[in-house]
Structure formats: structure tokens, C-alpha cells
Amino acid sequence: MMFSEQDIQQIKNKGITLNQVEAQVSRIKNGMTYSNLIAAGNIGKGIESYNDAEIQNYIKGFEAKQNSLDMVKFVPASGAATRMFKFLFQFLKNFDANKESIEEYIENKNDKLIKIFISGLEKLPFYNDVLIKAKSINPNFDSLNEGEACTAFVKTMLDEDALNYSFFPKGLLPFHKYNNVEVTAFREHLLESTLYASSNNKANLHFTVSEKHHKYFNAELDKIKSALEEKTNTVFNISFSYQKEETETLALTTDNEIYRKEDGSILFRPAGHGALIENLNDLDHDIVFIKNIDNIVVFDDNKDVSEYKKMLGGVLVEAQERAFNFLNQLDEAAGVSEAGMLKIAQFITTKMNISIGDEFDDMASEDKKNYLKNKLNKPIRVCGMVENVGEPGGGPFWVKDKNGDVSLQIVEFAQIDIDNKAQADIVKNATHFNPTDLVCGVKNYKGEKFNLLNYVDPEAAFITMKTQNGTDIQALELPGLWNGSMADWITVFVEVPLNTFSPVKTVNDLLKPEHQG
């Protein structure tokens, strides 16, 4: 594919190379590389499950080390709240209070979401704010019928010249309410960090945000920081970053031509949350907790939920200590005996879920030592897994790569060739899914930070169909942050309760008990 001098300059200005762009074009043209599933990760076969005594031991182990650890909580928070209100936008488009009542609309459209929304309206944390604003916009609000009042209420929430909630990121919307005081998801994450991600009364948090929202996050931080520090006796060190421009990818038309903007320049698009591996790689801490901005419950419930974060932290600390001890043994001049290397190999396969090739047995002693070091000296992630109570989809699977190595991976549904019966049958056996609940060890046994970009599987990229100005395009998304971007990490999966996963995907989720103060 030929690029003009203008194209080449545009590519250079983005901080990427022509070779990288050509690779993007090739990847889209060649189609997705599906994961080669070997088996679902289930309890006892890739997912560890602990009894109460074991859970407490891991919690105590983490707490004993907590003040000696440099930790950060990493929160992807760049997405706008638009999708939270999708069904309300559809309601405004389809409902006409002059032609039918709300009850008739719900019955005719079988719109269960709007029914739930209306029945729980007064429980929304921002109900009073919206109502006051609606009445200021509509002086005759109290005389409106139910359909008219509901329409006015929803318009007040969403209209650009009113509260414009869909413009803001989820993190800055009121999620909960305590004693008539609304609090944002952003504030709740600061408060949550004091439960498990703080050390010596200091909590580090890093939020990835969009540039257009950064000033609003700063304003919210200025409003809440001092009072929250005094309340929790914790100093908050908050940092922000944007998805890097050089991680954006181009798109092709359905005819495999480069999609261009009206001025003839190449359209580059954000490449999904997998691009955030760059942001994660820029942080310099021992341990990173990762949790999505919308997965946050009211504080009383969070006290219980956060115990499982400490458990995951304890699993990581123990795994690291054992791995580091073995790596130091492999470095010693005296060397490790054959029996010692067999013990390390057993730890690698049983605890770290890493396959050891048949060729290992026939290797010379020095080659065995280097082989084990290469397998063990990697970033480690411990991932919570919750029981799948709905349709099976993306989650923990045993996967074979192109080199024949088998490892545990978090696999999204889009990465699975579901038309392949053998692969579909494996998916049917899946019992758990990934709630984005991770704790990561990103430094090696010498205290040096890994370059996380060296552990990405670029072939695990997603190709999705999008629409741009009415034209269908083939878009390329980078390997997901906890999918292909961590493909070559050491992975440990641990079962956690379902109540650790309470995301807010639609505004109606705020009506659930776990989001009611």
C-alpha cells in the first residue's frame, strides 16, 4: 500500500513509524488471529479456591507486608457515561406523551429498562438535583402528567444545555448518596484505596482519563481531597494520564483501502484499553492493583469486598517471594542441583501455571538453569475470577500459542472462533469470568521494573466493524490490557465472590442494593 509524502509526515508527527502503520494494515487485511483454546480454566484446573482459614492466612500475610510495599491503584476512567444512558436516549426518541401513556409505551415496546428506571427514580443519587433543575427549566413541572414529567426529567439529565450527564465520564457522576450527600465514583475509589492499597498512611492512585475531562477530575479532587485526607488519616497521591496518541491505529474501508478524513489525511482512532499498557508501564511501583472505575459499591459493603483484594495481594506476595528465592538460587555461583531444579520446575508448573517443554529433561544443567530463569523471571498477575451465573463468554482459559506453549489467559469472547464446534464446546464448559480484578507484580527479583511492552502478544489484536460518518470501516484495537497485553505474564487465577463485581453499566444499576447508601 502506497503512502504519500503527506501521509508519511502525518505518521511521523504521531510518533510512530511507517513500518508500524504497514503492520496495522497487514493485520486488518489478514483478519483476526483467534485464540487456540485447549480447555476452560475451572476450579482445580487453573483456578484456585481457598477455604476461610486459607483466605485469612493470605490476608494476614498481605497485611504483614503492606507497609513495606510501594503500591498504586490503577483505574481506567476515560470512558464517557454515554452508554449508561443509551436506553434513555432511545426513550426520548420513541416516546410521545401526546400519543400514549408511559404504561402503554412500556407495554407496546416491552421496555423493561424504562419501567425499572421509573419505578426506582427517587432512589437515584442525583434525583433531587435533576428534579430541582427540571423545575427551574419547566416552571409548570408539577402540573405535567406522568409521561410529560418523565420526559422532562430525562431531558434534564441528558440535554447539553441542562445537566448533560452523558458528556461526563462515569467517574464524575454521583454514584452513591450518604445522609443526603452525593458522592462520585472517583471519590469512592479514593476512599476504597484506604482499605487495601495504602501503605504507611499514604495511598497512590493513577487514573487514565480523556484530555477533555482532565480539568473536571482536577476540580473534583480539589473539592474532596482535604476533607477525605482528614477523615481517613491518609495522604492521597493522585496522578492522571491520557491514552497516548502514538497508540492510535488506522482503519480500512470494507474494500481494504485506508479510510481518510475529508481533508485527505489518515483517520487514526483510539485503539481500545489495550493501549493503556503504555500508561501502566510508565508507573514505578512494586505492586499495582487494577480495577475499573464503575466497579465500586457503597462503603459499608466495600469493607467486606476489599478483604478479597487483600487476599489477592497475599497470594501475589507469597508467589513473588517463592519465585524470587528460586531465581536467586539459580544465580548463585554454586549452582542448583538436579533435584533443586526439579523442585523449581514443579513450582513453575503447579503454582505458576507455566508449561515445561519435553525438551527440558534432556537439557544440560546450565541450559536447564537458563530455561527456568526465562520462564520464572516475568511480571506476575493474580486475577480474581467470579462464578459465571449468566451466559458463558470471555474469561479464564488454557490457551496454546503458535510455539506450542500452553498457558493460562484471560480471553475475550471476540477472540474465540465460536463457529468452530470444538472451541464452542470449550466455552460451554467455562464456569467463571474475569471481573477486571487484578493485582500485579511488575518488578523482578533484583528490584528492577520490567518493561511491560516486552510481554505483549501483538497478534491478539481485535478487528471490529465500526461506522465513521455513515461509512463502514474495519477498525483495529490493540490487544486488551488484561488479554493480549499481558499474554506473556505469569498468571494465577483465584476464585472470589460474585459480590466483588458490581459494575454500573446502565443507570439502572445504581438502583441495586450494593449502590444504595
pLDDT tens digits, 271-282 = 888 899 999 999
pLDDT tops 80 at residue 158: yes
| Residue 273, pLDDT score | 84
* Residue 345, φ and ψ in degrees, nearest 5: -60, -40
Angle made by CA atoms 357, 361, 362, in degrees to the nearest 5 = 110
Burial class of 30 by CB neighbour count within 10 A (0 to 12, 13 to 18, 19+): exposed
- Write out pLDDT tens, residues 297-323: 999 999 999 999 999 999 999 999 999
Report H helices in 164-244: 185-196, 214-232
Share of the chain above pLDDT 90, in %: 86
Q: Which residues contact 313 (CB under 8 A, 6 or more apart)?
A: 58, 62, 66, 196, 287, 289, 382, 439
CA terminus-to-terminus distance, the chain: 57
Between 148 and 389, residue with greater pLDDT:
148
Instruction: Read off the DSSP letter of residue 197.
Output: S
Reported confidence tier of residue 424, pLDDT bands at 50, 70, 90 = very high
| Residue 31, pLDDT score | 87
Share of the chain above pLDDT 70, in %: 99
| Residue 80, pLDDT score | 83
Considering only CA atoms, which of 301, 320, 252 is closest in space to residue 468? 252
How many C-beta neighbours within 10 Å does residue 231 have? 11
Q: What's the CA gap between 410 and 414, in Å, rounded?
A: 12
Q: Which run of H or of E encompasses 466?
A: strand 462-468
Q: Are 484 and 459 in contact (CB under 8 A)?
A: yes
Q: What's the CA gap between 236 and 189, in Å, rounded?
A: 11
- Write out pLDDT tens, residues 195-226: 999 999 999 999 999 999 999 999 999 999 99
Reported confidence tier of residue 517, pLDDT bands at 50, 70, 90 = confident
| Residue 469, pLDDT score | 84
- Write out pLDDT tens, residues 339-362: 999 999 999 999 999 989 889 999
Question: Could you tell me the pTM of the whole model?
Answer: 0.93
Q: Are 480 and 364 in contact (CB under 8 A)?
A: no
Buried b (16+ CB within 10 A) or exposed e, 274-313: bbbbbbbbebebbbbbbbbbbbbbbbebbeebbbbbbbbb
Reported confidence tier of residue 400, pLDDT bands at 50, 70, 90 = very high
Q: What's the CA gap between 348 and 337, in Å, rounded?
A: 17
Considering only CA atoms, which of 370, 172, 205 is closest in space to residue 283? 205
CA distances to 114, 294, 318, 487 from 75, rounded to whole Å, are: 30, 10, 24, 20
Reported confidence tier of residue 392, pLDDT bands at 50, 70, 90 = low
Q: Where are the domains of the chain?
A: 5-80+169-317+431-515, 82-167
Q: Are 380 and 489 in contact (CB under 8 A)?
A: yes
- Tell me, what amino acid is at 297? V
pLDDT tops 80 at residue 470: yes
Buried b (16+ CB within 10 A) or exposed e, 162-183: bbebbebbbbbbbbbbeeeebb
Q: What is the mean pLDDT of residues 50-59?
A: 98
pLDDT tops 80 at residue 391: no
Measured in whole angstroms, the distance separating CA 329 from the mean position of its chain's CA atoms is: 36
pLDDT tops 90 at residue 479: no
| Residue 468, pLDDT score | 87
CATH placement of domain 5-80+169-317+431-515? 3.90.550.10
Q: What is the mean pLDDT of residues 37-64?
A: 97
Q: Are 502 and 496 in contact (CB under 8 A)?
A: no
Instruction: Read off the DSSP letter of residue 407.
Output: E
| Residue 394, pLDDT score | 65
Site of grid cell 510495599:
69
| Residue 346, pLDDT score | 95
| Residue 334, pLDDT score | 79
